Amino acid sequence: MNRGLLFCGLALTGWLWAGCAWGQTMPSTQPELRRSETPEQHEARMAWWRQARFGMFIHWGVYSVPAGTYDGKQIPGIGEWIMNNGRIPVARYAEYAEQFNPTKFDADQWVQIAQAAGMKYMVITAKHHDGFAMFHTKVDGYNIYDATPFKRDPLAELAAACQRLGMKLGFYYSQCQDWHHPGAEALKGGHWDKAQDGDFDEYLNDVAIGQVKELLTNYGPVSVLWFDTPTKLMTPQRAAEFLPLLDLQPQIIVNNRLGGGFEGDTETPEQRIPPQGYPGRDWETCMTINDTWGYKSYDTNFKSTETLLHNLVDIASKGGNYLLNVGPTSEGTIPQPEVDRIKAIGAWLKINGESIYGSGPTAFGSEAGNFDPVKKDRSGKPAWVAAWDWRCTTKPGKLFIHLFKWPGEKFELSGVKGTVSKAYMLADPQQSGLAMQQSGDQVSVTLPATAPDEMDSVLVLEEK
């Protein structure tokens, strides 16, 4: 043992007392897990993300080859977890790479699909839990360039297309969980193949840290870094090893899933919309269009366009972003049912986008629902019962009332704090004023005979 450390340990009480007496403090053993920036710099860094409100998540990897089926059996669970759920041996799963040849992949087309959907940024899986890198990493040969017939780097092509077409690009990276490389974590039952055994620190130093450095160095501007599944092994000391890499992209936005106590910039509720958002905290709901993230050939349980749109509005009304996933096939195409749905949202946004992009949360709140006084959720807390009649998003001097259910001749609203000077439908390019009355905080608006949009008609109330 180090003699100095031994002395400090034996004399700890004296040191603490001396620190109090002399105005000194003991050095902390915990690393600083916050980025060095002023509040103003943080606000500036987050500005584009708060304006965006809507992004595309892309789960694409070698798991799209089995597409949910292994040894002739459909494997339960989400598509990208097939290696874990099917307990597929490392060497056997690696053979799928030999069949992975996505010759129909077109980076420009993907960006154009996202733009047609009204999405403002894209986040793609650079490496998921199966350990297969979807870029030309020099760390090892288990990647799409070296291990497949494709011999191309789709992330490089996507980065170039995003820069050319004006789309923000982010990378997802599974830093703790990796079922291919020795030493990494494997949740849901642990390792099932001796080839996975090894030292976690060696994995971090030899694979994860090096690959994240490549992603933040070799692909131009990276707007988002999306970590996933932190485990107890990701201590503050280990998490701190990743933080200097963020200096390679000073404007990058990082989520809260690195681990070790690193809060990141954004909360990341998955497959759910928090009842009241995260007041005072940036957040982003990530969600699938069907039941899986990675492609499964037989998962056709697609959410309706109306449901997806209402989710977007609900999230925006609570101050969050919607990161909606697509799962491309092994050929490199985004399934048409997914394209159709997000493009329909894009058509709505072309007319009503002012009520979403850069919008603030509701001025009311009770319209979203309430907590049941009797029923409990899985954690034993009061269950949230959502209401789906309408939502509200805001901008200075404007209330955007999203009418999911057309109320008929009139819409009546209470709790209005300002004085409403004009009411009109956002879909009306002439902004023709609608007849309205206000008495105190009560506003009544006479609506058109029919709803401008079956999914969501936006009523604008301008305040003095």
**Quick one: residue 410, left, alpha or beta (phi over 0 = left, psi -120 to 50 = alpha)?**
beta
- Asked whether residue 49 falls in the same domain as residue 175, the answer is yes
- Asked whether residue 329 falls in the same domain as residue 413, the answer is no
Flag whether 18 is in a domain. no
- Using an 8 Å Cβ cutoff, are 319 and 279 in contact? yes
Domain boundary among 324, 355, 386: 355
Among residues 219, 231, 195, 20, which one has the least CA distance to residue 126?
A: 219
Question: Structure tokens of 43?
Answer: 């606000």
Share of the chain above pLDDT 70, in %: 94
pLDDT-derived band at 34, boundaries 50, 70, 90: confident
Flag whether 32 is in a domain. no
Cβ within 8 Å of residue 36, ≥6 positions away = none
Flag whether 415 is in a domain. yes
- Residue-wise pLDDT tens digits, 285-328: 999 999 999 999 999 999 999 999 999 999 999 999 999 999 99
- Asked whether residue 297 falls in the same domain as residue 420, the answer is no
In a 13 Å sphere around the CA of 318, the CA atoms on its Cβ side amount to: 25
Flag whether 263 is in a domain. yes
- Looking up residue 438, the CATH number of its domain turns out to be 2.60.40.1180
- Using an 8 Å Cβ cutoff, are 227 and 239 in contact? no
* pLDDT mean over 93-121: 98
- Looking up residue 343, the CATH number of its domain turns out to be 3.20.20.80
pLDDT-derived band at 29, boundaries 50, 70, 90: low
- Asked whether residue 339 falls in the same domain as residue 370, the answer is no
Domain boundary among 333, 355, 377: 355
Residue 440 lies in domain = 366-463
Phi and psi at residue 184, to the nearest 5°: -75, 170
Question: Structure tokens of 373?
Answer: 């006084």
Q: For the chain, how many structural domains are there in total? A: 2
Residue with tokens 């069949």: 99
Torsion of CA 14, 17, 23, 25, to 10 degrees: 70
Residue 168 pLDDT > 60: yes
* pLDDT mean over 172-194: 98
Flag whether 229 is in a domain. yes
How high is the pLDDT of residue 131? 98
- Asked whether residue 398 falls in the same domain as residue 290, the answer is no
Among residues 130, 260, 158, which one has the least CA distance to residue 215?
A: 158
Share of the chain above pLDDT 90, in %: 91
For 369, the enclosing helix (H) or strand (E) is strand 369-376
Question: Structure tokens of 35?
Answer: 């980025």
Q: Which of 30-39, 92-101, 191-200, 382-391 has the lowest mean pLDDT?
A: 30-39
Residue type, 381: K
How far is CA 304 from each of CA 266, 297, 300, 337, rounded to the nearest angstrom? 27, 19, 11, 10
3-class state of residue 139 by DSSP: coil
Flag whether 9 is in a domain. no
Q: Residue 32 gets which letter from DSSP?
A: P
Residue type, 422: K
How high is the pLDDT of residue 30? 74
Flag whether 7 is in a domain. no
Q: Is the dihedral of CA 263, 171, 305, 48 positive or negative?
A: positive
* pLDDT mean over 246-272: 97
Query: pTM (2 decimals)?
Result: 0.93
The rounded mean pLDDT for the chain is 93
- Asked whether residue 392 falls in the same domain as residue 329, the answer is no
CA distance 128 to 399: 41
Flag whether 61 is in a domain. yes
